[in-house]
């Protein structure tokens, strides 16, 4: 398997400092690298013409996981998501963090100047009772705190002794599950590491739909203690949601992509072409902090999610 790790989400934003206040101030990440990219580098990295960019890489101390923030110039006026329709599909939606002590986590969020959405979901899983709250931040980026049995979360997170874990998962609702699972299998060599279902009405309130929700999900990645992709189907009736696939593109703002570190990048380019995935930027050598010169490849999955692959 060529995938070495799923580093974490990529966010296109209007202000790096606003996003930094959230991920550094609330979730405890630290700056790992900053860089200014000219238009040639932006084109080689992400296939976007006519833009320069400033980027900041943040990581959870003691791990190789984090988030890359990008401020494109010119900056897009289009925001991918809308909190009034949080159930729309075919774009990433939520960055999940584990919170061992939910009361301490909520207090920390509020002391940092942020606030959870009023609705908090409480639902039962085979592992025990789970609490989940969402924070809608700048550029309509959603982060979630998830709390529950401590013994269970020691099996699904690397950092379990702080207010928040590292990025636990990067999730989004899809219109069709199977093509997405096939993409991860055939292009990235990643398989399903967990499946679960939620039928609780409180989760429908958290998502914001008035329809009956029958959530079914597949988590896809390397292992449960590192960041993975959450593939979610809400089970809503046709016409109850819209696809964001056409909006979920660079340089539009929001949770738009994920970074994946691989060891044989040309293999993935060949697999992407064979699969019929959209190749936004073919393999190229580019300087990308903090790694130095990397091989870069950017491909788009059937549900519109952009995957930036790097070989260091």
The tokens of 265 are what?
């990048």
The tokens of 209 are what?
């739909």
CB 82 within 8 A of CB 88: yes
Residue with the two structure tokens 């609705």: 119
Percent of the chain with pLDDT over 70: 96
The residues with which 292 forms a beta bridge, in sequence order, are 288
1 pLDDT above the threshold of 70: no
> Alpha carbon of 177 to those of 96, 104, 197, 307: distances in Å?
20, 36, 14, 17
Task: For residues 193 and 229, give the distance between their C-alpha atoms in angstroms, rounded to a whole number.
Answer: 10
The tokens of 233 are what?
């189907």
pLDDT 10s digits, 57-93: 999 999 999 999 999 999 999 999 999 888 899 999 9
pLDDT 10s digits, 241-256: 789 999 999 999 999 9
Helix then strand then coil, % of the chain, to nearest 5: 20, 40, 40
| Cα dihedral: 48, 279, 293, 256 (round 10) | 60
The tokens of 311 are what?
């070989």
Encode burial over 43-57: b for 16+ CB neighbours within 10 A, e otherwise.
Answer: bbbbbbeebebebbb
> Residue 225's CB: how many other CB atoms inside 10 A?
19
Residue with the two structure tokens 């994946």: 260
Entry pTM: 0.94
Encode burial over 134-157: b for 16+ CB neighbours within 10 A, e otherwise.
Answer: bbbbbbbbbbbbbbbeeeebeebb
> Considering the chain, what is the average pLDDT of its residues?
93
In this structure, the strands spanning 52-59 and 30-37 are antiparallel
pLDDT of residue 7: 98
Q: Round the CA-based radius of gyration of the chain to a whole number and report it.
A: 18
pLDDT band at residue 204 using 50, 70 and 90 as cut-offs: low
Q: Among the listed ranges 196-200, 264-268, 280-284, which one has the minimum average pLDDT value? A: 196-200
pLDDT of residue 126: 81
Longest dimension (CA), the chain: 50
Give kind and range of the element (H or E) at residue 204. Answer: helix 201-207
pLDDT band at residue 192 using 50, 70 and 90 as cut-offs: very high
pLDDT 10s digits, 97-130: 999 998 999 999 999 999 998 888 888 888 889 9
In this structure, the strands spanning 228-233 and 167-173 are parallel
């Amino acid at each position: 398997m060529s995938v070495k790790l799923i580093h974490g989400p990529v966010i296109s934003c209007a202000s790096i400092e606003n996003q930094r206040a959230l991920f550094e101030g609330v979730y405890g990440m630290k700056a790992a690298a900053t860089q200014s990219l000219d238009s040639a580098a932006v084109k080689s990295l992400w296939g976007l013409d006519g833009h320069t960019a400033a980027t900041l890489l943040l990581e959870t101390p003691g791990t190789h996981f984090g988030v890359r923030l990008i401020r494109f110039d010119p900056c897009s006026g289009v925001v991918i998501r809308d909190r009034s329709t949080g159930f729309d599909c075919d774009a990433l939606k939520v960055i999940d963090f584990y919170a061992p002590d939910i009361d301490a986590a909520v207090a920390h969020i509020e002391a940092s100047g942020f606030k959870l959405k009023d609705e908090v979901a409480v639902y039962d899983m085979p592992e025990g009772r789970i609490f989940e709250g969402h924070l809608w931040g700048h550029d309509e980026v959603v982060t979630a705190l998830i709390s529950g049995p401590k013994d269970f979360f020691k099996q699904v997170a690397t950092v379990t002794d702080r207010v928040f874990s590292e990025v636990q998962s990067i999730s989004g609702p899809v219109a069709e599950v199977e093509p997405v699972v096939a993409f991860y299998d055939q292009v990235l060599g990643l398989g399903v590491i967990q499946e679960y279902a939620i039928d609780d009405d409180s989760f429908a309130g958290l998502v914001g739909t008035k329809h009956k929700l029958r959530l079914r999900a597949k988590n896809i990645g390397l292992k449960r203690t590192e960041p993975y992709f959450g593939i979610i189907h809400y089970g809503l009736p046709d016409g109850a949601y819209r696809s964001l696939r056409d909006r979920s593109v660079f340089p539009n703002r929001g949770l738009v992509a994920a970074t994946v570190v691989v060891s044989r990048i040309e293999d993935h380019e060949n697999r992407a072409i064979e699969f019929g995935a959209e190749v936004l930027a073919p393999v190229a050598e580019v300087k990308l902090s903090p790694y130095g010169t990397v091989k870069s490849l950017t491909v788009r999955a059937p549900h519109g999610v952009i995957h930036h692959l790097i070989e260091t």
